[in-house]
Structure formats: C-alpha cells, structure tokens
Structure 1
C-alpha cells in the first residue's frame, strides 16, 4: 500500500512540475494580452473657453470617453477598439453626450476605431483590414490607447489624432498614485499651421479646411506592469489663422476614474503575479516535495532482496 501511495505522490509531483514549467515559460506571456471584453468609461473634468465652448472665459466642462472592444472584428493577435468621446459644458442636468445640433452644450463629439496589437499595445499597420476603409486612419502608428505590458523607463512614440502623426511620450519620473507605482510620461504636440477642421466636405486639404495653430500637452501616469493609465491631465488650444480661439481647455481625470483605474490595475497585477510567479515557484516547490516523498515511500515499501523466497527456503531446510 505504501508503494501505491508513493507512486501517486510521484505522479502528482510530476504534474506539479509540468504545471510550473508551463506557467513559467508560457502562462505569464499568455496572460499579458489585451482582453477582448474591454468596456470602460473615462471621465475628465476641467474648464474650456473659445468658440466651441461658446464662451470667452473658462466654463466648467466634462470630457467622457467610452472604449469598447469589438471581438467580432478582433483576432488572437489583434484587438479592435471603438472609442466615442464627448466634451460637454456643465449646465444643469447635463447628459454625458449629445448631438451638436440637438444640444448647445456640446463642445466636441467624436468617434474613432483602431486596431491594436494585443501584446505590444501598438496600433497595427493595416488598419483597413480590421476597421474598414471608412473608419481607418491613414498612417496610424505608435501607441494610442495604452502603454505596453512591462512599460520601461524610456520614451515611446505616441499617436496624435490632430497632427496625424506620432509625437514623443517622454519618461519623467516614478510617481505613486492612489498607492499604485506609476511612471510619469509627458507628451507635447504642436503645429503653427495645422488643419483644425476638415470643413463641411469632411475632406482634408480642401479650400474649406479651417487651419491654424495647435498646442496640446498630456501628463500620463502609467502602471508599468499592465501599461494601463492611472491618472492623466491634458491641455489643448486651437487658434485659427484669423486669430479666433476655437478651444482652450484644461482637464484631468476625476477622482472616481483614478480610483477605479488604481483598483483595476492592482487586480490585474495580482493575476499576472499569480500566473507568472507564484504558480511557477509554488509548483516547483510542491512538485519537488511530492517527488521526494513519493520516492521515499516507494523505496521504503520494497521488501529486502530475496525476503519472501528466502523465508520459504529456510522453512524447508528446517522441516527436512
């Protein structure tokens, strides 16, 4: 019976070592993948002035962005995101968003779709393949929605929708936000002659384009293990070539968004740590213990060499 239990321990030990090896060499990498069920809402609060804000002086505004994955358009390697964003002047019971023709409190409203590599978090080159020709942004590259898993302390290429090109997200410092370790990145984008609006025809580089200067800054606090945003502040200013201020805004994540981001990041870090560290280490230790105990039980359960046959032979000699 002892030998049977020993063989069971050996089998369990071998299984534990195999599980540790799989988790160590494959599990962590598999877990560090952008999921296909993303459905988040981000809220920034602040002030804005200018023609779009219908005020020469700063008024209270709220920027709401929803980000949803489109699993039917995604693959094992690429995830498609659809983002809708809206800036609303805060007057009375203001809706999250509305159509500009229906509500004068709308400052801006937009929608974009893009395809991102689920491992590197960089947008893929062939956007048309995943989001269609009508929604694809030509030449889109760099980071758009999040930073990569295991974000490093160096600069990254960061996509700017208005400029239609990448700018540099510069690493600044390590900063703790809501008890979560983050990397602070600074992003600056500017142009003295940029298309601020494509005009009524919706086509760029035509006679009815509105051109002018564009300045934007972002301070992004990134949790490095997951690459997710914890906090963010942003400014944006657009002035037409005729000198009219279209928008001059300054906003930052509201407290609820920061708190939710911190909680989600901590939960995801725990999952990655479990799969990438505790299961491999625990499986290795448990596997070795089971193997040692199983080996001892098997060896100790064996009878001495010639034990049963020797006893029978001895009895025969005595009887004779």
Structure 2
C-alpha cells in the first residue's frame, strides 16, 4: 500500500501557513502604517464658557458674558500629497453672543488663521508648505498615536511657545476613557499694540505701544490613548494690556476661568476616537490574534492530513513477486 497527500490536505496546510505569516505582518507592518495622521480632515470643535472681554462699543471691559470659541480644521489634501506631510489649515474665532452667528469671521471678537504641518507618523512639526506660525513641541490639536503616560510639550498658539502638560491619570468623557493632561501658563508678555495712552493709564501720551500679556488659568486635555485624538479640552485664557514697562494689568481684553468643549463636541470627538481606535485595534490586535489561532489550527490539521494521506493499493505490477526456480 502507498500513501499520497490529497489536494485538500495541502490546501489546508498552505492556508494555515499563510495565516501564521499574515498574523505578525498585520501587527508589525500593517498597523504601524495605518497609524498616520489623516490629510482629508474637516472637523469643527466648539468651546463655551463665561468670562470678561473688552467691548469696543462700550470702550470698557464687560463681565459675566458668554464666550464661544470655534475652531475649524481642514486638511489641504493637495499640499499633503505633494509634501507627504499632514497639512492642516486652522481657523479659530472667539465670539460673544453679539457676534454669533458670525457670517464673516472678521466680525468676531478675535479671529486667527494658522497652517499646521506635521510628520504623519510622529506628529512632530515640519517646517514647510507655508507653515504659519513657526510651531514647536510634541503636540498641538492632537497627541501622537499611542499616547504615553508622561508629560508632553504642547504648543500654545496664543502664547507663541510651548507649555508642559503633565499626565494626571485617566478621565471618562461621555462614558469613554482617555488620558488626562493639565498645565498652566504664567503671565507672559506676548507682543505690543498701538492704543490710546488713556486706555492704559497714560493720559498725557497720545498713542502708546501697550504691552500685550497672556496667561492661562488652566489647560485640561483628555486624549484617546490609541489615536491621540482630543476628546475633551478646557482652557482658561487671560489676555490683558499694560502700559509700557508697567507691572500691572491696565485693561482686560479677555478673561475666563474655564472655556470647555460643548457636550455636542465631546460626543462627536468620542465617536470619532472610538471608530478610529476600533479600526486600529482590529488591524493591530483582533485580526493578528485571530489569524494566528486559525493559522495554527489549520496548519496542525493540514500537517496531520498530509502525514496520514490516503491509502492506495499497489498496482498489479508492483505487487507481483519474481519467480524463483
């Protein structure tokens, strides 16, 4: 009798070997390449809170008013594809109830436009593609993928410099757990502005270059650990004017103890983080584990079948014994 492997057993064995090779490939090759900052992003986040701001109509600071910050981030797909980087255009407006809804962002209390360019893998700033302003640090708008439980250097666009945010444990946002980071900004001179001297306590002067000062009562960010997406953000900005060389604030331009993501923005960011994190988990953990288990089982079954084969009777020619005299 002779044994011969069947096509079915060879297919089972081959499929098992293929899955065993595929499993580490998904975990070590495919997932890292899936961890890339998107270039076709188009999201809007809204912060609200109460505070004080300088009313240009009243020519004085008004208090206990609602303040809304709207940030829109759009990816420049064309420039991103040309450069191989993530090129995002960021529009940020600060509004009062009087300027909302703003048909033109120029009507806002404050409006800025930025271009943020980063390495799609590391999230580090890349200085190209008409970046504006010059960014530094490890994170801005989002954290890197696979956020670590440590301090991060965060870019503060109002400060025009970086801030250290310390890891402060975990926090649940809309039922979804993220890593919490906090920090503050001490009062810092950020520039100058030409204003009437009477505004900053220098009545004898006509126009003076008043000093702009900025501080932050507290920054709190909660990030999805796998994707780095921010699911909750709260800030406490304070912007003031001082007389040239002055040591005290003369005018409060903007001041709020806390302006935070609205519940709607929290839900939207959590949904996006949950979806993106789930896809990365599928590619990096679920599929590799499933492929490894299935591959092992199929390889064992296939090997057994190939070893056993099927029994075949010998041919008449091979079964004949030579004649002896």
TM-score w.r.t. length of structure 2: 0.82
Shift of 1:58: 2.2
Q: 3-state SS of the aligned residue for 2:311? A: coil
* Residue 86 (structure 1) aligned with residue 99 (structure 2): no
Q: Residues 212-256 of structure 1: CA distance to partner in whole angstroms, max 9, x if unpaired? A: 331113111111111111111111111111301111133111111
Shift of 1:84: 0.5
Within 5 Å, give how 1:232-311 maps onto structure 2: 232-242=233-243, 243-249=250-256, 250-303=258-311, 307-309=313-315, 311=316
**Contact 2:171 2:179 survives alignment (8 Å):** yes
Gaps of 5+ in 2: 196-206, 244-249
Query: Following superposition, which runs of at least 4 residues in structure 1 exceed 6 angstroms of deviation?
Result: none
Shift of 1:23: 0.4
**Contact 2:55 2:62 survives alignment (8 Å):** no
Match of 1:215 in 2: 215
- Say if 1:208 and 1:17 are closer, same or farther in 2 by CA, change over 3 A: farther
Shift of 1:50: 2.4
**Contact 1:86 1:96 survives alignment (8 Å):** no
- Say if 1:192 and 1:2 are closer, same or farther in 2 by CA, change over 3 A: closer
Within 5 Å, give how 1:107-118 maps onto structure 2: 107-118=109-120
- Say if 1:280 and 1:198 are closer, same or farther in 2 by CA, change over 3 A: farther
* Residue 25 (structure 1) aligned with residue 28 (structure 2): yes
- Say if 1:208 and 1:163 are closer, same or farther in 2 by CA, change over 3 A: farther
* Residue 95 (structure 1) aligned with residue 101 (structure 2): yes
TM-score w.r.t. length of structure 1: 0.84
Once residues 210 and 158 of structure 2 are traced to their aligned partners in structure 1, the CA distance between those partners, rounded to angstroms, is: 12
- Say if 1:87 and 1:192 are closer, same or farther in 2 by CA, change over 3 A: closer
Match of 2:121 in 1: 119
Q: 3-state SS of the aligned residue for 2:314? A: helix
Q: 3-state SS of the aligned residue for 2:297? A: helix
- Say if 1:236 and 1:258 are closer, same or farther in 2 by CA, change over 3 A: same
Shift of 1:91: 4.1
Match of 1:202 in 2: none
Gaps of 5+ in 1: 200-206
**Contact 2:193 2:212 survives alignment (8 Å):** no
- Say if 1:80 and 1:59 are closer, same or farther in 2 by CA, change over 3 A: same
**Contact 1:53 1:247 survives alignment (8 Å):** no
- Say if 1:287 and 1:139 are closer, same or farther in 2 by CA, change over 3 A: closer
* Count of matched residue positions in the alignment of Structure 1 and Structure 2: 298
**Contact 1:50 1:246 survives alignment (8 Å):** yes
Q: Residues 138-168 of structure 1: CA distance to partner in whole angstroms, max 9, x if unpaired? A: 3634321111111111111111223322111
Once residues 123 and 209 of structure 2 are traced to their aligned partners in structure 1, the CA distance between those partners, rounded to angstroms, is: 32
Shift of 1:53: 7.3
RMSD of the alignment, in Å?
2.7
Match of 1:67 in 2: 73
Within 5 Å, give how 1:164-183 maps onto structure 2: 164-183=160-179
Q: Residues 13-54 of structure 1: CA distance to partner in whole angstroms, max 9, x if unpaired? A: 222122212102112211221112111110111123221576
Deviates more, 1:71-80 or 1:224-233: 71-80
